Amino acid sequence: MKNPIEQLQKVFDSRVRLGVMSALMVNDQVSFNELKELIQLTDGNLASHLKALEENGYIKVNKGFVGRKTNTTYAVTKAGEKAFRLHLDALEQMIKQMGK
Amino acid sequence: MTDQNQTLETIKDIRNIMDRSSRFLSLSGLSGVGAGVCALAGAWFANDVIAGSDAGKTAKAGTIRQYEHADGGLDMLHSFMGHRLFMIAAVTLISAIVVAVIFTYLRSSRQGIPLWSSTSQRLIWNVAVPLVAGGLFLLKLIEAGVYGLIAPGCLIFYGLALVNGAKYTLGEIRFLGYGMLLLGIISCWFPGYGLYFWAAGFGLLHIIYGIVMWNKYERQA
């Protein structure tokens, strides 16, 4: 049998990145500030995790303006959605095997 | 086994964030109770006004006079009690909304969640669309003198609004919506008793829902 741990996505190894992906999966787009509030993180910390997800092609960034303030929003890409589902499947498999 | 705990913890995190980022979860049960009490008070005042008018008496006797198009008599009815009933309805609606917002505001500030957020805005929008469309339609019915369908209409459109909004807040509100819809549809066949159905829906159902939700989510908090 395939070891489900191999199927776990390395990028999702952090709670923050998983949190970001979870929020983006159920929303068309989420702003930087909303993510910050949801995951309760400092700007710099969140930004570096977002950068990593972006570099993997799992999320896309959209820079806009609300009035004069910049408003950066994030959305999940097709590849990101697929990777996240695979990751969830792997987690599910792991739990099933432990139950045995 | 720490491995298993970790995995379960991760899944709990994922679920939690999905919920919190897509639903406004601070809606307080006490908001339901408060709105229900406002509705009962409003219905009680409205009942006084209707009972005091001739049209109310014939309506209670179960005639279908209410379904007639605006003739002279109904025009008089319109100006005689339309105004006071309309005032009562407006005051009831406004006080119910204010009370509901206050209780939900208290709960959200206890939880440290902003009241005005993208989740609450989405909830308001999705509830408002069926409500505003329904409200305009009901105003047109009043203009046409079809008073007998006002109460069922209120219940039906409000029920639809709740079912629609349930995706954006605590999911249980869907059942409150179903209850409103059921009462609204049944009341279509009981002309003259609209106010009682209205009070049962907007008053009792709200209060029951509110108590159940308060028990489930807020009691220990």
Query: According to the model, what pLDDT value does residue B61 have?
Result: 46
Counting Cβ atoms within 10 Å, is residue B117 exposed (0-12), middle (13-18) or buried (19+)? middle
A31 part of a folded domain = yes
Query: What CATH number is attached to the domain comprising A92?
Result: 1.10.10.10
The residue among A13, A21, A27 with the most chain B CBs within 10 A of its CB, best to mutate, is: A27
A41 part of a folded domain = yes
- Alpha-helical (H) ranges within chain A are 4-7, 15-25, 32-39, 43-55, 78-99
CA-atom Rg of chain A in angstroms = 15
Are residues B118 and A91, on separate chains, in Cβ contact within 8 Å?
no
Q: Is the complex ipTM more than 0.90?
A: no
> What would the pLDDT profile of B151-176 be if each residue is shown by its tens digit?
999 999 999 999 999 999 999 999 99
In DSSP terms, A52 is beta-bridged to none
The residue among A7, A12, A22 with the most chain B CBs within 10 A of its CB, best to mutate, is: A22
**B1, B10, B20 ranked by CB distance to A18: nearest:** B10
Counting Cβ atoms within 10 Å, is residue B183 exposed (0-12), middle (13-18) or buried (19+)? buried
A1 part of a folded domain = no
> What would the pLDDT profile of B182-220 be if each residue is shown by its tens digit?
999 999 999 889 999 999 999 999 999 999 999 999 987
Total structural domains in chain A? 1
A21 part of a folded domain = yes
A34 part of a folded domain = yes
Cβ-contact A39, B14 below 8 angstroms: no
Residue appearing with tokens 């105004």:
B83
A90 part of a folded domain = yes
A35 part of a folded domain = yes
Tell me the residue range of the domain where A89 lies.
13-99
**Domain ranges for chain B:** 31-218
Which positions in chain A touch B118 (Cβ < 8 Å)?
Answer: 31, 34
> What would the pLDDT profile of A40-74 be if each residue is shown by its tens digit?
888 999 999 999 999 999 999 999 888 888 889 99
**B1, B14, B20 ranked by CB distance to A18: nearest:** B14
Cβ-contact B175, B158 below 8 angstroms: no
A6 part of a folded domain = no
Distances, alpha carbon B194 to alpha carbons A45, B25, B34, B155, in Å? 58, 33, 22, 10
Label residue B69 by pLDDT band (50, 70, 90): very low
